Structure 1
Amino acid sequence: MADDEWERVLDQLDRQVTSGRLSPDVATLAELMAGYRVPGVSIAVGDVTGRVWAAGYGSTGAEAPVTADTAFPACSISKHVTAFGALRLADSGVLELDADVAEYLASWQLRGVTVRQLLAHTAGLSDTWYRGYAQDCDAPSLLQVLEGSGPASTPPVRPALLPGSRFRYSGSHYSVLQQVMVDATGSSFDELMRTLVLEPVAMAGSSFDQRFPHRHPVARGHHGGGATIAGGWRTQPELAAAGLWSTPTDLLLLELEIARAVAGDSKLLSHDLATQMVTQQVPGGFGLGTEVDDSAGRRRFGHTGQNVGYTCFSFAWPDRGTAVAAMTNSEDGWEVLASIRAAADRLYATAVPAAPLSDVTGRYVLRDDYPIDIAVVGERLTFSAAGQPPVVLVAHPEGHHVHPGLDLEIRFLPTGVELRQEGRSQTAARSGG
């Protein structure tokens, strides 16, 4: 990772990111920020050797420039950080992932779901997104959030689906997990996370303490269109779900520690639990507190986040030992972040070796009524879908093939063929006929 590599990357971002391939329509980061009215962006890139590049762009919204040390709300990346702390408690025997949470809860009651299900968003609890509380308003305690009482603006946390039956992302799972961790240890959550995660990982610019932004330089949040959040930011009593303040540099330090743990080289988390953390717990779902992309050639893990006034992401590409994190102080930051993440994918996604042509020919079935035929003409593959005339595929240096006239990538897997269109993947199984 050259020191100026990402400076060049940020001068050539793709406006059209759905295909995953760089298009001729490029823009600088400053142009994208202006177009989407994003006041400030902070980015950090690092690898397992310890090298880190970090920079800030634009304004905090308080007549100060964003720097690499400016803190932002980590939004739902808080869940990812919390999950690392919960797994450290499991490593030490304080928590058992498959135990009923009723074994740990003392100040609030819930039965029939496990710690693992809370981590993986499969416990079936009520669907909740936490919008935070204005600074001039009373914020509820965690118990009031769980009960839906007092000044809480969200409904009570209740079972809504069969536990373990499906994935449903909801902040309520992590509010319960926060109470589990507090009751199991007898420690306040912000202090617990400081000792379990923030200090051991050297996340010196991070805190779950909601007084943090009053004592440190932070970015002020903005609604879509550029209006500043009243008071600059909102208080998030749902700490585990959305309450962390952090920097991109701190977040990528955690991603790299998880990557080391997966490789069996971490003193903080065991290889077994780290592997479970980055393994999908149900098809199409999350790992344990982790967004996981296992599609061919694009393996990465991490988390995205959005609070009122802010957006962010933090991801690691473990096969390259590299992580990238970016944070904005705008609800309209998603398009800017999508361009940054697409650039990171192009740099760090794992290449997949091409399969021998003789091994991939034949018929594949996407649906009962949608066959795909792969044949060899000369030394090149042809592709024909649902009765369309065959076309000659273009081989890509990274091992996949590209349709010459469509936004379509084809990757051959042991079980079939993966079709990637506009950033989404489908798998067609090899026909048995």
Structure 2
Amino acid sequence: MEFSQDWIKLLGRLDRQVSSGRPSPDTAALSELMTSYQVPGVSIAVGHVDGRVWAAGYGVTGGESSTPVTADTAFAACSISKHVAAFGALLLVQSGVLNLDTDIGEYLTSWHLRDRAGRRPGVTVRQLLAHTAGLSDTWYRGYAAGRAPSLRQVLEGSGSTTTPPVRSTLLPGSRFRYSGSHYSVLQQLMVDATATPFEELMRTLVLQPLAMDDSSFDQQVPHQRPPQLVARGHHGGGTGIPGGWRVQPEAAAAGLWSTPTDLLRLDLEIARAVAGESKLLDRDLATEMWTPQIPGGSYSLGTEVDDRAGRRRFGHTGQNVGYTCFSYVWPDNGIAVAAMTNSEDGWELLASIRATADRRYATRIAAAPLGDMTGRYLLHDGYPIDIAVTDGQLTFSAAAQQPVVLLAEPDGRYLHPGLDLEVRFLPTHDQPCVLELWQEGVTQTARPATEQPESPSIHP
């Protein structure tokens, strides 16, 4: 079935109850969800590495007019900007302009990162890309037109800036902490290293080579495009953003304007690169872009990673004042889906679209025989987990907890019926299955009680 027929049908029956992780009979059409959450406009695109693309717009751009959203309507891409900026940074690594593991002080000339005592910490380009540099915890809300500070002022916390100065506040490399400040430093670093304005650099490095013709980091773009081709942002409840949108001097972190079709082009190119088929980025760097930088974590170099068995997808989500969005690729099927809304209340709607894409495109894996999974597993500090088979169903019991019947998913995962807990059994070459617990983005490994692991395995 072609994408158009397939997705028109899928968007007519979206699951309202996506948080459970299981299909629900409680479904609604996209138009119903837009009404329920007061989302004025939605744009969606689906593409394949072979070049096939389907895209459509729903609802209106907002403001005083009732202009329909189309596939060509530009939206704020929010934090997907980081994903695109990271691709550009890796192209500079590939050309030798940057090195992932070199101290950023080697490249910054117009501003220097310091800690609270004024000292320069040792931070690498890789740590900026992976949000592991330990920089100030910042979310950028944007500015009204004519009141935006410069990037330098954002870094310094001066002028009309509404965020604190960017500082090193955690031990670099010690942990993951998502913060837009990492990408503000990366933006300044790329500008200093190339002596080129950021929007121009990204246009020549990434946007033009990928034919992302409706995308730009230039904050004047929404003023320059025809008004009917710009989605105006909305607060929760449908209240419009004064002026239509905010200006984001922190372009690498949150300043891209784009369309779902353009965002697909990036994710599909990364998928080609991982397969060694890209003319832009080599396989090793593309693989780095999909490799969690903290073992068991969910973020790599500018990319949100879900590499669970049967759920492999890579990409990024985003939220700015007035907008929400996501763009993901399911590499085992060579398919990417991107969706953008002009509302802060778009998350639930987007979650329903993404859950539909997961069920459609996530890799299916064969479940191991139940008997191969049974036995006692030990988590950290000898914490016991017992897996048994009762009446043909797998049961799970942990220390001091009553046994429960696990809910089997068709992709080989098991869900706890009462907790936000996902269980996976991973076969090994010549050993019994290893049990993985996934809770709130954290993976923990429990091994058969007969094994004696060298150390606990707990990954943030």
Q: State the TM-score, normalized to the length of structure 2.
A: 0.88
CA contact (8 A) 2:219 2:248 kept: yes
Which of 97, 100, 103 is the matching residue for 1:97?
100
The Cα of 1:218 is off from its aligned counterpart by: 0.7
Residue of 226, 246, 251 corresponding to 2:263: 251
Q: Deviations over 1:237-290 (max 9, x none)?
A: 111011100000100110000011111111100100000111000132410011
For each residue in 1:274-317, what CA deviation from the matched residue of structure 2 results, as whole angstroms up to 9, or x when unmatched?
00111000132410011111112111111110110000011111
The aligned counterpart of 1:120 is: 130
Q: Deviations over 1:114-147 (max 9, x none)?
A: 1000000011111111111112x42111111111
Q: Which of 216, 228, 235 is equivalent to 2:240?
A: 228
Deviations 1:133-187 (CA, angstroms, capped at 9, x unpaired): 112x421111111111111111111111111011111111111100110111111
Letter aligned with residue 143 of structure 2: Y
2:62–2:231 CA contact under 8 A, matched in 1? yes
Letter in 2 for 1:209: D
Larger mean Cα displacement after TM superposition, 338-347 or 110-119:
110-119
Contact 2:298 2:441 in 1 (8 A): no
Query: Structure 1 residue 382: deviation in Å?
Result: 3.4
Distance change (3 Å), C-alpha of 1:33 and 1:169: same
Q: Are 2:311 and 1:298 aligned?
A: yes
Indicate the residue corresponding to 2:272 in structure 1. 260
Aligned residue number for residue 140 of structure 2: 130
- Offset, 1:389: 7.0
* Other structure's SS at 1:225 match: helix
Question: Partner of 2:9: helix, strand, or coil?
Answer: helix
Q: Can you give the 5+ residue segments of structure 2 that lack an aligned partner in the other structure?
A: 114-119, 428-432, 452-460
Aligned residues: 431
Offset of residue 412 of structure 1:
1.1
Q: Is the 8 A contact 2:325 2:341 kept in 1?
A: yes
2:153 corresponds to 1:144: yes
Matched residue, 2:58: 57
Q: Aligned letter for 2:245? A: W
Q: Distance in 1 between matches of 2:38 and 2:301?
A: 34
How many Å separate the matches in 2 of 1:388 and 1:172?
42
1:69 aligns with one of 72, 78, 81: 72
Alignment-mate amino acid for residue 361 of structure 1: T
SS of aligned partner of 1:18? helix
Task: Give the Å deviation of 1:363.
Answer: 1.1
Tell me the alpha carbon deviations over residues 372-396 of structure 1, each in whole angstroms, 9 at most, x when there is no partner: 3334568x45324147776776765
Distance 1:424 1:332, change over 3 A: farther
- Alignment counterpart, residue 179 of structure 2, candidates 166, 170, 174: 170
**Which of 340, 343, 349 is the equivalent residue of 2:362?**
349
Q: 5 Å matches for 1:12-411?
A: 12-62=13-63, 63=65, 64-110=67-113, 111=120, 112-135=122-145, 137-216=146-225, 217-283=229-295, 284-366=297-379, 371-376=384-389, 380-386=392-398, 396-401=409-414, 410-411=423-424
Report the CA distance shift for 1:382/1:20 in structure 2 as closer, same or farther (over 3 A): closer
By how many angstroms is 1:420 displaced? Answer: 6.0
Aligned-residue identity in percent: 73
Matches of 1:101 and 1:391, distance apart in 2:
51
SS at 1:236 equivalent: coil
Q: Distance in 2 between matches of 1:154 and 1:171?
A: 11
Could you say what secondary structure the match of 1:363 adopts? strand
Give, as a single letter, the amino acid of the residue that structure 1 aligns with 2:328.
Answer: F
Give distance in 2, aligned partners of 1:165 and 1:421.
Answer: 21
Equivalent position amino acid for 1:281 in 2: Q
The answer to whether the 8 A contact 2:76-2:257 is kept is yes
Amino acid at match of 1:125: L
